[in-house]
Structure 1
Amino acid sequence: MSSSTALRDLQRDIENKANDLGKIQKGKYSEESSDKEEELDLLEEDANVYKMIGPVLVKQDLAEANANVRKRIEYISAELKRLDAILQDMEEKQISKRDAIVKLQQRVQSIQAGNAKA
């Protein structure tokens, strides 16, 4: 295999890995924070609480509203943990792709340096 063929193969490999890295970066998830519904804790037990169902406000028990909010917060927290794990995996893949690109670029430079001396 000639050095020019090896160089072309390495450059093609670098382009492919750079494209893979770009795809991974575009697929990043953005982390969003969830706020606790602390307002319900400020209410007295006999306070009126309403839940919006479509265009209608329906009266709801305060304990039931608190339970619903707690369940939603648990769901959102679990979803954030899941997305964080996905994000961590994607970041590890990015690092791996970057390392592969750097190694390939170093090989290209060494081949080009060898050709320049010849």
Structure 2
Amino acid sequence: MGEDIQRKLQLELDSFKTVQKELQKAISTRQQLDGQLNENEIVKKELDLLPADGKVFKSVGPVLIKTELVEAKQNVSKRMDYISKELKRVDDLIASLERKQDTHREGLQKLQHQFQQAQVKAALHA
């Protein structure tokens, strides 16, 4: 009986650790996306400060290529929309993983309690 509970406990612990790793990865991804969104917001503000005939250059590898201001603004806006959608997706993933983590934590607590009870019974019968 104790070995069965111990095996279940180990499986639940392994599942919990896997979810924790996935959660950390998702949080890291979210932080990267948040940084990218902030960078793009700064670029957008800078582009908004330029006069209509202002010159904008886009870095392509080691070369700077002249780009129209309207096109640059559209590109930054599209990038911000994409990043915002990715942030929403990652936030949903994080919420889901946190729920899974809570479920595994509850399972671990129940199994630990059962294991302790089995140990006490075994000690009393020994």
TM beyond 0.5: yes
**Aligned pair partner of 2:8 in 13, 32, 44:** 13
Distance in 2 between the 1:42 and 1:64 partners? 15
**Aligned pair partner of 2:17 in 4, 13, 22:** 22
Q: Does 1:81 align with 2:76?
A: no
Could you tell me which runs of 5 or more consecutive residues in structure 1 were left unpaired when the two chains were aligned.
1-5
**TM-score, with structure 1 as normaliser:** 0.89
Q: How does 1:61-100 map to 2 (within 5 A)?
A: 61-100=68-107
Larger radius of gyration: 1
Q: Cα deviation per residue 1:57-91 (whole Å; 9 max; x = unaligned)?
A: 11111111101000000000101111111111111
Q: How does 1:13-52 map to 2 (within 5 A)?
A: 13-28=8-23, 29=26, 30=28, 31-32=30-31, 33=34, 34-35=37-38, 36=41, 37=43, 38-52=45-59
**TM superposition outliers: structure 1 runs of 4+ over 4 Å:** none
- Residue type at the aligned position of 2:117: S
Q: Cα deviation per residue 1:20-68 (whole Å; 9 max; x = unaligned)?
A: 1111111221222121121111111111001112222111111111010
In the TM superposition, residue 114 of structure 1 has moved relative to its aligned partner by 2.3
Which has more helix, going by share of residues?
2
Percent sequence identity is 39
Could you tell me which runs of 5 or more consecutive residues in structure 2 were left unpaired when the two chains were aligned.
none
Distance in 1 between the 2:122 and 2:7 partners? 19
**TM-score, with structure 2 as normaliser:** 0.83
Aligned positions, number: 113
Q: CA RMSD in A?
A: 1.2
